[in-house]
Structure 1
């Protein structure tokens, strides 16, 4: 059941992500994929408030940003929106689940192999890698299918979409412009942001996950 608080958080996440995405949306990359350091926003929301908040907020934010940028929802419907939903939902889900399981194991076995902070940071690392891998796979398949169906984008007035039929361009776009820079930003900027915010606001849901290993040092 989604509460009114969840709806408000989703709206805030979506609005911030949309605004942040548009700041860099017009920077040319030559491979369709946008440079988007704003990914740290839904990443932080997904971890602090839950996977549904980050995933849905990201989907809404990228949907609106794409319509503003391209004037049509067709690109984001087949790629960006489902990709962002899956990416940030998985990122939050895996961070929560792995942190919680590791904490319970460490407490029950009395063998804290990793301290609480190390556990959630490693869990967040796994969440980032899996989330972005799934997200960019969806984008690659979606744009490739759209390019094929629309004869390289000609039938929808987007002839530049034909670039996506070149696998070299696709790989460069997915990895060099998409996966790598977004992972670097959301992980290395996300970790300190999550730490600062979780300490500043003790009632944040993620703190309950961290307490699953409350019997040991932080």
Structure 2
């Protein structure tokens, strides 16, 4: 892999930040069913720039883009404030996409992409969730519009705070992961003629079935286990969903269960489908 010249690095980082910020602004009006944050479809942009420029481009671009997007998209809607955007969003996006870029460049395969996406989003969203709870519980200004919630959190038990962190983490992770898994690969496929011409792009290879199938199976089982825990165990007694959601708790859990369950099933069987289509394509072309 060639080293990226400084001019390319600066240009790619700036472009990544700008596109990511625009995507956040455009989707700021798409809330989750729990009125927490928003549907962040734009996570595929720093992921794409991780292929183009590596971990530093993806991490720095995502951090700057997240801050700008929050300032001009979420702050006007009252879903964050500048300090929280800097305290939670910036480090979470930097670390998450730096890890994604580093690992995807190191392993460079679609099978690894499945597990790397899960790991990067897990770590990044944990940082965001932890910092949000710390900020709301200890650092918020007295005139903050969330002062009532923050005051209650400040006097809450340790278990409640841990539960709140876990709740935010699950919400964000399980809504972002399907976007990464099912939107990013078609995007890379569509842009492949352009990406192949760019000399610094990290290549993603499609492994043999004996390699990629177990990776898809592992991630799928993890997601199915999470779906089971969400819907068939009394997790609502551990995680303060009603504090986060502020609405129909059962609807939120049902939505999250089906989203996670369907994603897990697809991840398990997707490698089989890919290789079936690949086999049929070769057969139709007379190669098999």
Q: What's the TM-score bracket when you normalise by the shorter of the two chains?
A: 0.7 to 0.9
Query: Structure 1 CA distance, aligned partners of 2:30 and 2:107?
Result: 36
Query: Structure 2 CA distance, aligned partners of 1:46 and 1:133?
Result: 17
Deviation at 1:58, TM superposition (A): 0.7
Gap change, CA 1:189 and 1:90, over 3 Å in 2:
same
Gap change, CA 1:89 and 1:200, over 3 Å in 2:
same
Q: Could you say which residue in structure 2 is the equivalent of 1:27?
A: 30
Root-mean-square deviation (Å): 2.6
CA contact under 8 A between 2:28 and 2:38: conserved in structure 1?
Answer: yes
Q: Deviations 1:80-111 (Å, cap 9, x if unpaired)?
A: 11000011111111111123xxxxxxxxxxxx
Gaps of 5+ in 1: 100-119, 211-218
What secondary structure sits across from 2:196 in the alignment?
coil
Query: Structure 2 CA distance, aligned partners of 1:33 and 1:202?
Result: 36
- 2:13 aligned with 1:4, yes or no? no
Gaps of 5+ in 2: 206-288
Q: Could you say which residue in structure 1 is the equivalent of 2:187?
A: 193
CA contact under 8 A between 1:198 and 1:206: conserved in structure 2?
Answer: no
Aligned residues: 188
CA contact under 8 A between 1:50 and 1:92: conserved in structure 2?
Answer: yes
Among candidates 11, 17, 21, match of residue 18 of structure 1: 21
Q: Could you say which residue in structure 1 is the equivalent of 2:144?
A: 157
Deviation at 1:63, TM superposition (A): 0.6
Larger relative contact order (C-alpha < 8 A, sep ≥ 6)? 1
Deviation at 1:18, TM superposition (A): 0.5
Query: Structure 2 CA distance, aligned partners of 1:44 and 1:67?
Result: 23
CA contact under 8 A between 1:33 and 1:174: conserved in structure 2?
Answer: no
Q: Could you say which residue in structure 1 is the equivalent of 2:170?
A: 175
Q: Could you say which residue in structure 2 is the equivalent of 1:143?
A: 132
Q: Could you say which residue in structure 2 is the equivalent of 1:132?
A: 121
Gap change, CA 1:209 and 1:25, over 3 Å in 2:
closer
Gap change, CA 1:87 and 1:21, over 3 Å in 2:
same
Pairing 1:17-56 to 2, within 5 Å after superposition: 17-29=20-32, 30-56=34-60
Larger radius of gyration: 2
Query: Structure 2 CA distance, aligned partners of 1:6 and 1:27?
Result: 32
- TM value normalised by structure 1: 0.75
Query: Structure 2 CA distance, aligned partners of 1:169 and 1:28?
Result: 19
Gap change, CA 1:66 and 1:171, over 3 Å in 2:
same
Q: Could you say which residue in structure 2 is the equivalent of 1:105?
A: none
Deviation at 1:14, TM superposition (A): 0.7
Q: Could you say which residue in structure 2 is the equivalent of 1:94?
A: 103
Q: Deviations 1:16-46 (Å, cap 9, x if unpaired)?
A: 1101111121334445332101111111111
